[in-house]
Chains A and B, each alone.
Chain A
């Protein structure tokens, strides 16, 4: 019995790995997307809007299956057509990270966009008046303040992202849910193992919540809060 529990714990490490990798990708896409939507150029705004609309309109599972099964075949066709003898294999880990990162990039886009818009414009103007360049302004004035406004939405997106990693079990990644399912079918004890996996997820989300709340307090130093 403990052999199975140990394997589920190893699966927990995979879960943490996938979620963190996907988060990095999602933040990257979120910043890009927010920049695109705020740029004012019609084609950029349009592209970003199509991105966020499509993602929020299609279930994650379907996107994941599309990218995993369809994507590999598509990429290989492309390579064959281009005359290359190599073939690419999108393994479940990569497919999971790509899909989840891609999906939550869309949600992060909205979060970051809202956060940037919440910063009074006067701050940026004052920075320019001081002679700061655009990049400098972004890094020293906009970004730190954006973090504070973005935190609630970011926390929410992160928690949902963690839970979405369970879906990657359906394309064969050997993370917690997959291993719990195999263990439960082999030992005929689903309740035991799924409860164990659920407890591990709860631990992960709880730790995240605590960490992000700490971050929130740190970034809100000096801000007067209304009645919470």
Chain B
């Protein structure tokens, strides 16, 4: 028994160390210092990009499981500019930043707003778009101020800027705020009647809900929401603190794609207005 024990233990220990996946350190930012010459296309260093593919039309998946959307296309454009290969990692929204800190991926390109609160734990690139949020309920709901929504059930995405707003402004006004794991699950429950509405990015809710059959009869109420305290300064690419080289590269890439028309092409694919904002 003792020998069996010992041999099993040794086999186990060896196999566990063997299968601990260790990956190369975060891809060396500038091509000059990377091991693989940037010229050889097969050896492009990888950039792991986190996405939450439940956010049509910014980040979602086609029926056969391919990530697509404005965020994904911008990420591809940035990767082409900085000569990296984008590898997409799906992540639930409220564990986006913890996952980044746990080094499960290198950047987040998933409509993450640049807020002061988030800047304390991660770094952001310059913004690549900026759209306001709105409250969405049945279009014929009378609205004078926030207390008109008293008693209504409003769904929000857990960990989002809209959730902070809802908890900070709507809940004290008597609204029943319910946090959800994913924005498309909010739409599922609005459709079935469990929720009266949501607070969401105006473009996202148009593309993901209002333009679909179940969005019939729903519309924006209330003011345009862009209070910096909750919503920040636009959407940027998030990365771990201290990755200055990577940040400069990505900022350079964003400037480049705005200058050379790639941004416009991508933007026109999804929107017929200027999504960059001011």
Contact = CB atoms under 8 A, between A and B. Distances in A.
Is B a genuine binding partner of A? yes
Interface of A: 1, 3-4, 6-7, 28, 31-32, 35-36, 38-39, 69, 72-73, 76, 85-91, 94, 134-135, 138, 172, 174, 179, 182, 184-186, 188, 190
B269 interface: no
A73 B62 CA distance: 32
A134 B25 contact: no
Contact of A190 (B60, B101, B182, B188): B188
Contacts of B61: 182, 186
B23 to A, nearest CB: 6
Given A32-B5, A182-B53, A186-B60, 12 more contacts: A32-B12, A38-B1, A69-B95, A69-B98, A85-B25, A88-B22, A88-B23, A135-B3, A172-B90, A174-B90, A185-B184, A185-B187
Nearest to A93: B21
Contacts of A185: 54, 182, 184-185, 187-188
A79 to B, nearest CB: 9
Interface residues of B, number: 41
Nearest to A139: B4
B104 interface: yes
Contacts of A184: 188
A185 B186 CA distance: 9
A182 B90 CA distance: 11
Given A32-B9, A87-B103, A186-B60, A94 B3 contact: no
A32 B20 CA distance: 21
A186 B8 contact: no
A69 B1 contact: no
Interface string B5-45: 10011001000000111111110000000000000000000
Contacts, number: 92
B251 interface: no
A188 B187 contact: yes
Contacts of B98: 69, 73
A69 to B, nearest CB: 6
Contacts of A31: 4, 8
**Chain A facing B: main interface SS:** helix
A113 to B, nearest CB: 13
B54 A72 contact: no
Contact of A182 (B5, B54, B104, B191): B54
Nearest to A185: B184
Contacts of B8: 28, 31-32, 35
A20 B94 CA distance: 30
B140 interface: no
A4 B3 CA distance: 51
Contacts of A91: 21
A82 to B, nearest CB: 13
Contacts of A86: 22-25
A128 B259 CA distance: 84
A72 B102 contact: yes
A172 B92 CA distance: 7
B98 to A, nearest CB: 6
Contacts of A172: 90-92
Nearest to B104: A89
B214 A188 contact: yes
Contacts of B272: none
Nearest to A183: B63
